[in-house]
Structure 1
Amino acid sequence: MAQHYLVCGTEDCKRNCQFYCNPCHQRLCKRCRDEHQKSQDTKDHEVVTYKQRKPQLPEEKCNLHPKRNVEILCKDCNVPLCAKCIFMKEHAGHQLDDLEEKYAEKVAFCRSEISKIQEHYLSTSQGLKKEIKEDVMEIKKTMDNIRNSIKAEADSLKELVDRVTSDKLEQANKIEETLLKTLNSQEKTYEDYTEYLEKLLKEFHSYKSITNFRVLFSDDFENLKIQSIPETTQPVLPEFTAGHFDKDEVSKLLGSINFPNIKPDNRRIKPMEKASTQLKLTGKQTRRDVEESDVKPTLSLSSSVTKVREYTVPGVDRVCHVSLGKSGRLWASNESGNLVHTDLQGDQLQKIRTSGRDEGYHTVTQDGDLIYTDRKNKVINRIKQDKTVTEFIRTGDWVPISIHSSHINGDILVGMIKIGEAKVTRYNKTGKEIQNIQRDNKEQELYKYPHYITENINGDICTSDLHKDAVVVVNKSGQHRFYYTGQGSKFYPYGICTDLLGHIIVCNGCFGNNSLDIIDQDGQFLSLLLTLQQWIQPCGVCADDESHLHVGQWKTKTVTVYKYLQ
């Protein structure tokens, strides 16, 4: 579940928490931080940003002295002790460490390993899997050329070579089958490795958040290692050698299929690079603190939101949804079914009439085409860049209302409804259905009306569900992660998008309580980017490659672009 709004821990202070005092383990707002550092008692305390805080050691009583908390680690025995234990003869002369420091190191290690898996191992293995699919296409293309050559030879020899042609084609088919079988086996290798990485990722996540920190000092934890990415070989493509016409040697006349005398190369596995960091030393923070803290991207939330520009969309009276295309062009729609293609100067390039409403019913694919849902005919249509419209996917008995094209792999996510039911369906980029998400592990319905949908950088599917008054987030396997239900008394989620930091940004369309909420990928509320005083009813939102937000208004044809990262 999404956590409550994070506030300052100072008594009677209700302002936003931005900082953290490591010695006091206290949340602080900016004003209380300044006062904390001016106080004679706390001016030397280490105060850092909240995300750079050191984890507080969970309170646990000593087994031998139940009235005392453990706070020291005996390095020789690898056991936690209280202050009284260190005088026992069993630990005489042993090396001792601050238990909280060692606990923070273990948690930092978990975060580091999680980062490695997410940023290198998963992406690299998925890239190798994609390379195999490209090799499959290349093999098909090569074998097609070989078959055409065989047929051309056969045609010139007429009926004399018909019998031999059949044999040669069969030979080619068997070679192709063998090659594809090998590549399918390689693909399965990376699928199994990906499943292993996801399981290992869950283990590190569980260790990171575990309350029994003793487990972090167990042999099981110390033995956790990331297995190397499996190596596979690239296929060596066969070659066709044309024959010479000779009536007595018909078989030779049609040539032969051979593999070149080339040793297959191992697939290239990119080396793991160190993630770049850009951290500020705050207060008494040391270089060691920086090295042990989370890896931070170079971008972060800004303390203020800056208006960059504003443009209008011709042909719509309300901007309910925005899809960004290539070359600074975009698609925008209203609740009346008008779908308009325009540039940032407001020049209309194309306009069509659809059955869409105030929902996220269109998206731009990796190829630059636009696909949109037709709820009336229960189909998904494609608009190519030459402006032709074709039918792409039929959804059967289900009414498609929202859609998103994945930036990760090109998959298509569709929010659908029918009487009394709702679901999210995943199609691959060719339109083949590959996944349905409808219930959680307790067989409870996840969705009621998924009218906006997007995907996060970690593969999570994020959906605005108007009838649940919540953002519903599931992982790429369809397992429920959390609900986000806003910060005020009323929350009507509309447009939703994610950015390159994994933030989830959602429009709260509640009249009189309008806002643009931003949460992290674990459901933790971060900020209200826009509130009623600054904005009037945000409805559609999307993020561009420059980390700017394009926000459409409910009551006007205006789209405003904001800078919110620094």
Structure 2
Amino acid sequence: MSESSDEQAAGQHFLVCGTEDCQENGQFYCNDCHRPLCEQCRDEHLKNPDTQTHEIVPYRYRKQQLPVEKCKQHPTWNVDIFCQECQISICLKCFKKEHQSHNFDVLEDLYAEKYALWQGEFSKIQKYFLPTTQGLKTDIEEDVTEIKKIMESIRTSMNAEAESLKKLVDEVTSEKKKHTHTMEKSLLKMLKSQETTYDDYIAYLGKMNDEFQEYLSLTNTKLFSETLRIKTIPETTRPVPPVFTKGKFSKDDISKLLGSVNVPNTKPEKRKIQPMEAVTTHMKSTEKQLEQSKEKFDMKQTLSLSSSVTKVKEYSVPGVDSVWHVSVDKSERLWVSGGGNLVQTDLQGKQLQKIKTSGGNGYHTATQDGDLIYTDQDEKVIYRITPDRKITEFIKTGDWTPVSVHSSRINGDILVGMMKDREAKVTRYSKAGIEKQNIQRDNQGQGLYSDPCYITENINGDICTMNRKKGAVVVVNKSGQHRFSYTGQRSGFFPRGICTDVLGHILVCYDSFIGGAVDLLDQDGGLLSVILSLQKGIKEPCGVCVDDENNLYVGQSDTNTVSVYKYLQ
């Protein structure tokens, strides 16, 4: 880039007035001329008899210009009239020649009206259909988690019941086996008694045999005088052996003993879908408020010129040598990271806590609940720090390395920029850490991101991500569709921080060949102002955020300094 072009780029600090040779800030817009105007040119525009009836509004409320379409009959004329009777779009020459007596509409007014209607429908998608559907999807994910917990609990109960039944079976079996031992002992005792009876009888027979032998040796008179009488053999009974009778049971019998799992005969409850009427009413109320705001709009409510940006405070943060990212929590305490340290200070700059981390650039964010969330690239884990300084593991990102993180001001969702090998993506989690959405490629299948080092979300749901290798800010809408990319106003764009404010402005912090700067963009990526630059006393800005009081915090990578600015008045 030549020296003159560098000076031109450095000098273009705002949206330039559309009046020829005027280089002032074009804060206003003429809907008739379709060009931006500065305050002085606006006043002259309204004084000029030829343009005094033109509609001039603040730039952000400008009317969309009718797309240029040439007449097929008269190629040098633009189509800008709609014939109501013929229902065709024509040029002024066609109108004067063939349709002069017909009723007509100015095509630009119709376009503006239709554009507003389409914007209204698109707004319904953004504000009702998409968030409602995402909410229902979240409900389903929560139901999945709940069902898994319930089924696991049922299986645990089944195992406990089965163990209880097994214990009872073992107990009854043990008792019955004990009874068999008693029966066996009784039967053996009876048999032993019978055995003794026959032992005694055998002994008796032996004795009788001895006596008979003795009689044979005596005189014959003894034999004739005595009568031999032998006792009969004692009678005994055979024992009746016990018989085992098998139990009569089946699988069904066991099933009946155990509990069962059944789905109650209850009609499923329909998921509650918020009626669009309620949202539409809210939208109409919001539109009415915007309209009222538009009517009351004056110069004091617009962005100040970059020259009016004032520094209101400056911190020297202990515990860091350089500042890479800044977050402000609900108690307005400052979180600053740099050199592998994450430091919290109070409003006076006193260090409250210091944590050693393996984060990179935009790796921490303050939540609506007053917590701080930060990523650990080495462990691939996202941690939460509560106000009482308790650190807990919040989300595990698996194979993906979490690089940047942002807590949504809209609904508390957590947006995480991640990398794996040569791929990158943005993942949306709910406040509870449930994965809701992955954004990785555009409609042509090309990767949207390279290394998402900083990330934020605008009030309209746009996700704004800084990518170092691409040298660009990539902006997608809430559904992940690419809207635009921003590469700065200076050569050598190197991303160093991004945030948004309550008015939907995008603040882009970056370095370049001619020094660092902070650009202020509108929601569509249009440059409104370069609010900070080398010429305004900031050398190497790095890390930006805006608190609830619209104060802009800007870190500096060459020192441990965080400066606070007022840029809205």
TM-score (norm 2): 0.67
By how many angstroms is 1:20 displaced?
2.8
2:117 pairs with one of 100, 109, 120: 109
1:406 matches 2:418: no
Uncovered stretches (5+) of structure 1, i.e. residues with no partner = 149-157, 194-227, 230-267, 283-289
1:212 aligns to what?
A: none
| In 1: Cα distance, 2:513 partner to 2:99 partner | 68
| In 1: Cα distance, 2:20 partner to 2:447 partner | 41
1:118 pairs with one of 104, 126, 136: 126
| In 2: Cα distance, 1:365 partner to 1:270 partner | 26
| In 1: Cα distance, 2:365 partner to 2:293 partner | 42
2:371 aligns to what?
A: 369
> Is the 1:495–1:541 Cα contact (8 Å) retained in structure 2?
yes
The structure with the larger Rg is 2
What are the within-5 Å matches in structure 2 for residues 244-323 of structure 1? 269=278, 272-273=281-282, 274=284, 275=286, 276-277=288-289, 300-303=302-305, 304-323=308-327
By how many angstroms is 1:321 displaced?
1.1
1:544 aligns to what?
A: 547
Kindly provide the amino acid, as one letter, of the partner of residue 175 in structure 1: P
1:513 matches 2:522: no
2:230 aligns to what?
A: none
By how many angstroms is 1:545 displaced?
2.6
1:348 matches 2:348: no
> Is the 1:5–1:487 Cα contact (8 Å) retained in structure 2?
no
Taking a change above 3 Å as real, the CA distance of residues 351 and 69 of structure 1, as seen in their structure-2 partners, is closer
Deviations along 1:239-293, one digit per CA (max 9) or x if unpaired, are xxxxxxxxxxxxxxxxxxxxxxxxxxxxx955613223356999xxxxxxx79xx
1:74 matches 2:78: no
Query: Secondary structure at the residue paired with 1:80?
Result: strand
Taking a change above 3 Å as real, the CA distance of residues 396 and 141 of structure 1, as seen in their structure-2 partners, is closer
2:182 aligns to what?
A: none
1:264 aligns to what?
A: none
What are the within-5 Å matches in structure 2 for residues 197-276 of structure 1? 229=276, 269=278, 272-273=281-282, 274=284, 275=286, 276=288
Taking a change above 3 Å as real, the CA distance of residues 349 and 36 of structure 1, as seen in their structure-2 partners, is same
Taking a change above 3 Å as real, the CA distance of residues 135 and 299 of structure 1, as seen in their structure-2 partners, is farther
> Is the 1:515–1:530 Cα contact (8 Å) retained in structure 2?
yes
1:560 matches 2:563: yes
> Is the 1:497–1:504 Cα contact (8 Å) retained in structure 2?
yes
1:47 pairs with one of 46, 53, 56: 56
Deviations along 1:465-498, one digit per CA (max 9) or x if unpaired, are 2222211223344443322100112321111112
| In 1: Cα distance, 2:530 partner to 2:448 partner | 26
Query: Secondary structure at the residue paired with 2:281?
Result: coil
| In 1: Cα distance, 2:278 partner to 2:140 partner | 13
- Give the number of aligned pairs: 466
> Is the 2:404–2:417 Cα contact (8 Å) retained in structure 1?
yes
Deviates more, 1:537-546 or 1:270-279: 270-279
Taking a change above 3 Å as real, the CA distance of residues 476 and 70 of structure 1, as seen in their structure-2 partners, is closer
By how many angstroms is 1:320 displaced?
1.7
> Is the 2:455–2:466 Cα contact (8 Å) retained in structure 1?
yes
> Is the 1:319–1:559 Cα contact (8 Å) retained in structure 2?
yes
2:105 aligns to what?
A: 97
1:261 aligns to what?
A: none
By how many angstroms is 1:432 displaced?
5.1
> Is the 2:429–2:437 Cα contact (8 Å) retained in structure 1?
no
Uncovered stretches (5+) of structure 2, i.e. residues with no partner = 1-12, 157-166, 169-253
What are the within-5 Å matches in structure 2 for residues 414-493 of structure 1? 414-419=416-421, 421-426=422-427, 428-429=429-430, 430-431=432-433, 433=435, 435-493=437-495
2:271 pairs with one of 186, 192, 205: 186
> Is the 2:490–2:512 Cα contact (8 Å) retained in structure 1?
no
| In 1: Cα distance, 2:322 partner to 2:63 partner | 47
> Is the 1:411–1:426 Cα contact (8 Å) retained in structure 2?
no
| In 2: Cα distance, 1:486 partner to 1:107 partner | 29
Taking a change above 3 Å as real, the CA distance of residues 147 and 99 of structure 1, as seen in their structure-2 partners, is same
By how many angstroms is 1:454 displaced?
1.8
> Is the 1:120–1:272 Cα contact (8 Å) retained in structure 2?
no
| In 2: Cα distance, 1:141 partner to 1:395 partner | 22
| In 1: Cα distance, 2:147 partner to 2:399 partner | 38
> Is the 1:423–1:437 Cα contact (8 Å) retained in structure 2?
no
Deviates more, 1:434-443 or 1:491-500: 434-443
| In 2: Cα distance, 1:98 partner to 1:70 partner | 10
Taking a change above 3 Å as real, the CA distance of residues 272 and 478 of structure 1, as seen in their structure-2 partners, is same
By how many angstroms is 1:508 displaced?
1.3
2:264 aligns to what?
A: 175
1:236 aligns to what?
A: none
Taking a change above 3 Å as real, the CA distance of residues 355 and 124 of structure 1, as seen in their structure-2 partners, is closer
| In 2: Cα distance, 1:122 partner to 1:416 partner | 24
Kindly provide the amino acid, as one letter, of the partner of residue 80 in structure 1: S
| In 2: Cα distance, 1:166 partner to 1:543 partner | 62
| In 2: Cα distance, 1:362 partner to 1:165 partner | 56
Kindly provide the amino acid, as one letter, of the partner of residue 556 in structure 2: Q
| In 1: Cα distance, 2:147 partner to 2:449 partner | 43
Query: Secondary structure at the residue paired with 2:19?
Result: coil
| In 2: Cα distance, 1:87 partner to 1:479 partner | 44
Deviations along 1:87-124, one digit per CA (max 9) or x if unpaired, are 667774x4333333333322233334434443455556
Deviations along 1:519-550, one digit per CA (max 9) or x if unpaired, are 23322222212222324222111122333322
| In 2: Cα distance, 1:11 partner to 1:396 partner | 57
Taking a change above 3 Å as real, the CA distance of residues 50 and 332 of structure 1, as seen in their structure-2 partners, is same
| In 2: Cα distance, 1:478 partner to 1:326 partner | 29
Kindly provide the amino acid, as one letter, of the partner of residue 335 in structure 2: W
| In 2: Cα distance, 1:33 partner to 1:269 partner | 40
By how many angstroms is 1:144 displaced?
12
| In 2: Cα distance, 1:533 partner to 1:63 partner | 52
> Is the 2:32–2:54 Cα contact (8 Å) retained in structure 1?
yes
Higher helix share: 2
Query: Secondary structure at the residue paired with 1:301?
Result: coil
Taking a change above 3 Å as real, the CA distance of residues 397 and 61 of structure 1, as seen in their structure-2 partners, is closer
> Is the 2:14–2:26 Cα contact (8 Å) retained in structure 1?
no
TM-score (norm 1): 0.67
| In 2: Cα distance, 1:146 partner to 1:438 partner | 39
By how many angstroms is 1:559 displaced?
2.7
Kindly provide the amino acid, as one letter, of the partner of residue 533 in structure 2: T
| In 2: Cα distance, 1:66 partner to 1:438 partner | 44
Kindly provide the amino acid, as one letter, of the partner of residue 107 in structure 1: Y
| In 1: Cα distance, 2:510 partner to 2:22 partner | 26
What are the within-5 Å matches in structure 2 for residues 22-37 of structure 1? 22-37=31-46
Taking a change above 3 Å as real, the CA distance of residues 45 and 339 of structure 1, as seen in their structure-2 partners, is same
| In 1: Cα distance, 2:320 partner to 2:416 partner | 24
Query: Secondary structure at the residue paired with 1:277?
Result: helix
